[in-house]
Amino acid sequence: MAINKTEKIWHNGKLINWDDATLHVMSHVVNYGSSIFEGVRCYAPPKGPAIFRAPEHAQRLLDSAKIYRMDVEFSRDELVAAFVDVVRVNQVAPCYIRPIVLRGYGQVGVNPLNSPIEVYVVNYEWGKYLGHGGDGVDVCISSWTRLAPNTMPAMAKSGANYMNSQLIKMEAILNGFAEGIALDANGYVSEGSGENVFLVRKGCLMTAPLGNSVLPGITRESVIQLARDMGIQVVEQMIPREMLYIADEVFFTGTAAEITPIWTIDKIRIADGTTGPITKALRDEFYGIVNGTAPDRFGWLTPVPMRQPVGV
Ligand code: PMP
């Protein structure tokens, strides 16, 4: 997906031109991967653009910053206001919002503490990440292991973690799969390169707990909430690889992937190889809320005031 540039980018509290959001090659982040970021979706229901779970994304950004001892001088609410600002100013919705906190141009060497913290919020058009028109995807188990505990913190959404994700993704694509599912250091199911994984077995919805090196996905949490609300039993438990193959349904969740059914894993068909009823029910509920055809009963949407109707 090529990037379609917008007019303005939010930088440390000010709106700057897209083309001015540049970095020096000797910035700490370029050399040592010292960034944390978020991926947030802004939907465009008929009532006007609405950002999905903006405070939760801003909080996860601040949590990632805390883990890496990055002092962010903006509060959760100020960050949410920045998300709203870029969408409003650029008049692009639906869109993807990319907040980034990085260590900029300061000192050489690994010690990050003397390089300045820069905060950016960018937005741009973005469509579906995986699958085509709601179809399921064919995936593999990756030969790459997800981050081992006490190495790179999986609960932080740091740029550097995505070097591991890139290995998983490249291997999957080059072998003809849409995505890879990584196992954790003990061989239990962890997550996709950019998605959490759920399975359904005997009517029970299961996903790996945070101790299995997964990002605390905001879509993951939303799906758990929706499922419980629909009376579906949900358990967070360690999942052996083989349980995926014999599941009744398997799907990914993520801001980009939303809820994407998985039809085959390692060329093994999951049940009859189509989208299962619980996946369908959760998707319908999820899209109902974000597309404005069902009430926002959990208060998940932050409206964006726009000057005029927009589209992409
Ligand atoms: N795991 C990884 C590694 C991810 O990159 C993402 C996408 N942010 C997720 C899980 C899903 O998280 P969320 O639902 O918050 O987008």
- 202 and 234 share one domain: yes
- 175 and 218 share one domain: yes
Distance 163 CA to ligand 1 centre (A): 14
- 112 and 217 share one domain: no
Q: Give the rounded percent of residues in the chain with a pLDDT score beyond 90.
A: 93
- 120 and 145 share one domain: no
- 161 and 180 share one domain: yes
Q: For residue 128, which amino acid is it?
A: K
Phi/psi of residue 86, nearest 5 degrees: -65, -40
Average pLDDT over residues 175-203: 98
- 94 and 13 share one domain: yes
Q: Looking at the domain assignment, is residue 293 inside a domain?
A: no
140 lines ligand 1 (CB under 6 A): no
Tally of helices (H runs) and strands (E runs) in the chain = 7, 17
pLDDT at 3: 87
Q: Looking at the domain assignment, is residue 297 inside a domain?
A: no
Task: Tell me the average pLDDT of the chain.
Answer: 95
254 lines ligand 1 (CB under 6 A): yes
| Domain that includes residue 172, residue range | 137-275
Catalytic residues: 157
217 lines ligand 1 (CB under 6 A): yes
CA distance 311 to 23: 31
Ligand 1 atom index nearest CA of 196: 10
Residue 304 has pLDDT above 60, yes or no: yes
Ligand 1 atom index nearest CA of 165: 3
Which alpha helices (DSSP H) does 24-75 contain, by range? 28-32, 54-67
Residue 130 has pLDDT above 90, yes or no: no
Cβ contacts of residue 32 below 8 Å, gap of 6+? 103, 110, 112, 160
What the block records as the tokens of 277 is 């009823």
Confidence of residue 126 (pLDDT cuts 50, 70, 90): confident
- 153 and 262 share one domain: yes
- 123 and 141 share one domain: no
Please report, for the domain that includes residue 225, its CATH number. 3.20.10.10
Residue 69 has pLDDT above 90, yes or no: yes
Q: Looking at the domain assignment, is residue 298 inside a domain?
A: no
Q: Looking at the domain assignment, is residue 59 inside a domain?
A: yes
Confidence of residue 261 (pLDDT cuts 50, 70, 90): very high
Confidence of residue 133 (pLDDT cuts 50, 70, 90): low
What's the structural domain count of the chain? Answer: 2
Please report, for the domain that includes residue 121, its CATH number. 3.30.470.10
Q: Looking at the domain assignment, is residue 302 inside a domain?
A: no
Q: Looking at the domain assignment, is residue 290 inside a domain?
A: no
- 166 and 120 share one domain: no
- 265 and 166 share one domain: yes
Q: Looking at the domain assignment, is residue 303 inside a domain?
A: no
Q: For tokens 């593999």, what's the residue? A: 140
pTM: 0.96
Confidence of residue 2 (pLDDT cuts 50, 70, 90): confident
> Which of 108-117, 118-127, 152-161, 169-178 is predicted least confidently?
118-127
pLDDT at 306: 85
For residues 236 and 196, is the Cβ–Cβ distance under 8 A?
A: no
Other CB atoms within 10 A of residue 295 CB: 8
- 165 and 267 share one domain: yes
Cβ contacts of residue 144 below 8 Å, gap of 6+? 164, 167, 168, 171, 180, 182
Average pLDDT over residues 60-87: 98
- 119 and 155 share one domain: no
- What are the tens digits of pLDDT across the range 135-167? 899 999 999 999 999 999 999 999 999 999 999
